[in-house]
């Protein structure tokens, strides 16, 4: 067993975690990043990225994360390929244990474990991911300008995605497995009032259909949940919008959660435990963008730096007294 001691431990290596690492390292805190199950976060499975500031041309998600990691390493961040299996936040330094037995003791902890989009679980969905099938209209909707698209789901996320897609597409179809939506009433009113949106009720997706050259999504095979009748809808893009699952299992019972997301003091990254901070999609249920994740990662590092400075000042004052 190896014990790693650090003033700043960061869990997660997506845009939030890496931004926190860059700011923490530049402050001389020599942060350690534990990369987790998916090093690089969700952008490692994203091909074309067109909405991250600073790049005139389309860039690749994995390349962007590689560059962010190199930048973090260059300024003094250490990376560990480990998965945390146990967390003790009852006292400082916080104590975390990896699946290989290594122990991490940290004066501050930044949680940037992210959230994963929920998928339908179809083989065809996985095969066509990035080829017409997406879980983020805000990220990928621009690529479907003037084309027919569908949005799958019935909650706030699905309705918001459908409304957003009307900025790009003149023909948006919302597909829902029930005969009524779960979304907030004000969102439903906006949806039903939008002439660009139609709704297919009581339908589940049986298969995402591939075709064309180069091969990509051309339509969906559907099944009626009441009659069992099969149907087909042609489309150029499909957005699965059935929610997200924040990676917060480790913190249940230790941190306050809201629908699974870590609760922070509004306008900050501070959690209810002094010295513990959260950033990125693990605490953001609304925006879920790489650029907003990076921004909150910066906030978390600055909040942690100020926390450490205040704690050290208080300790020196106590010694002098």
3-state secondary structure of 98: strand
Q: Is 208 within 8 Å of 128 (Cβ atoms)? A: yes
Eight-class DSSP state of 100:
T
Measured distance CA(225)–CA(39) in Å, rounded = 39
Show Cβ contacts of residue 77 under 8 Å, excluding neighbours closer than 6 positions: 21, 22, 24, 25, 30, 31, 32, 33
Rounded to the nearest angstrom, the gap between the alpha carbon of residue 261 and the centroid of all alpha carbons in its chain is 11
Mean pLDDT of all residues belonging to the chain = 94
* pLDDT at 47 (0 to 100): 63
Q: Strand 244-246 vs strand 115-117: parallel, antiparallel, or unpaired?
A: antiparallel
Question: In this prediction, what percent of the chain has a pLDDT beyond 90?
Answer: 80
Q: What is the pLDDT of residues 163-186, one digit of tens each?
A: 999 999 999 999 999 999 999 999
202 or 117: which leads in pLDDT: 202
pLDDT-based confidence at residue 286 (cuts at 50, 70, 90): confident
Instruction: State mean pLDDT over 24-40.
Output: 92
Measured distance CA(238)–CA(122) in Å, rounded = 13
- Of the candidates 37, 46, 41, 53, the one whose C-alpha atom is nearest the C-alpha of residue 16 is 41
Report the catalytic residues: 136, 139-140
Query: Is the preceding omega at residue 300 within 30 degrees of 0, hence cis?
Result: no
Measured distance CA(119)–CA(116) in Å, rounded = 9
pLDDT-based confidence at residue 265 (cuts at 50, 70, 90): very high
* pLDDT at 46 (0 to 100): 65
Q: Is 115 within 8 Å of 288 (Cβ atoms)? A: yes
Instruction: State mean pLDDT over 228-250.
Output: 94
- Please report the domains of the chain, with CATH numbers, ordered by start residue: 3-116+244-320 (3.50.50.60), 120-241 (3.50.50.60)
pLDDT-based confidence at residue 114 (cuts at 50, 70, 90): very high
Q: Is 122 within 8 Å of 222 (Cβ atoms)? A: no
Tokens for 113? 């474990």
* pLDDT at 321 (0 to 100): 74
What is the separation, in whole angstroms, between the first and last Cα of the chain?
A: 39
Tokens for 15? 């845009």
Contacts 24+ apart (CB under 8 A), 27-30: 27/301, 27/305, 28/76, 29/304, 29/305, 29/308, 30/6, 30/76, 30/77, 30/78
Question: In this prediction, what percent of the chain has a pLDDT beyond 70?
Answer: 99
Flag whether pLDDT at 157 surpasses 90.
no
List the beta bridge partners of residue 79.
33
3-state secondary structure of 45: helix
Q: 103 — phi, psi (to 5°)?
A: -115, 140
Flag whether pLDDT at 138 surpasses 70.
yes
3-state secondary structure of 119: coil
Measured distance CA(222)–CA(199) in Å, rounded = 13
Rounded to 10 deg, the angle between the 290-320 and 15-26 helix axes is: 40
């Amino acid at each position: 067993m190896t014990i790693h001691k650090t003033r700043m431990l960061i869990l997660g290596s997506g845009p939030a975690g890496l931004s926190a690492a860059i700011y923490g390292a530049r402050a001389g805190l020599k942060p350690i990043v534990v990369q987790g199950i998916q090093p690089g976060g969700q952008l490692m499975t994203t091909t074309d990225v067109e909405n991250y500031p600073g790049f005139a041309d389309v860039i690749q998600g994995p390349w962007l994360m590689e560059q962010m990691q190199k930048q973090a390493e260059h300024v003094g961040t250490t990376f560990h390929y480990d998965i945390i299996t146990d967390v003790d936040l009852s006292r400082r330094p916080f104590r975390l244990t990896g699946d290989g037995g290594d122990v991490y003791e940290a004066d501050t902890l930044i949680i940037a474990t992210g959230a994963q989009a929920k998928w339908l679980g179809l083989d065809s969905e996985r095969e066509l991911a990035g080829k017409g099938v997406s879980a983020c209209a805000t990220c990928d909707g621009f690529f479907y300008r003037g084309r027919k698209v569908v949005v799958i789901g019935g909650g706030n996320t699905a309705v918001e995605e459908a409304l957003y897609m009307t900025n790009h597409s003149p023909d948006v179809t919302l597909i829902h497995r029930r005969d009524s939506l779960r979304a907030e009433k004000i969102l439903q009113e906006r949806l039903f009032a939008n002439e660009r949106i139609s709704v297919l009720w009581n339908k589940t997706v049986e298969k995402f259909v591939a075709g064309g050259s180069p091969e990509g999504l051309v339509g969906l095979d559907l099944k009626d949940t009441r009659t069992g009748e099969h149907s087909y809808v042609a489309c150029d893009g499909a957005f699965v919008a059935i929610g997200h699952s924040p990676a917060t299992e480790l913190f249940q019972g230790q941190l306050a959660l809201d629908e699974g997301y870590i609760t922070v003091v509004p306008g900050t990254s501070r959690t209810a435990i002094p010295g513990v901070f959260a950033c990125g999609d693990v605490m953001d249920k609304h925006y879920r963008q790489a650029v907003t994740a990076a921004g909150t990662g910066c906030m978390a590092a600055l909040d942690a730096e100020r926390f450490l400075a205040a704690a050290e000042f208080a300790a020196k004052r106590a010694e002098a007294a």
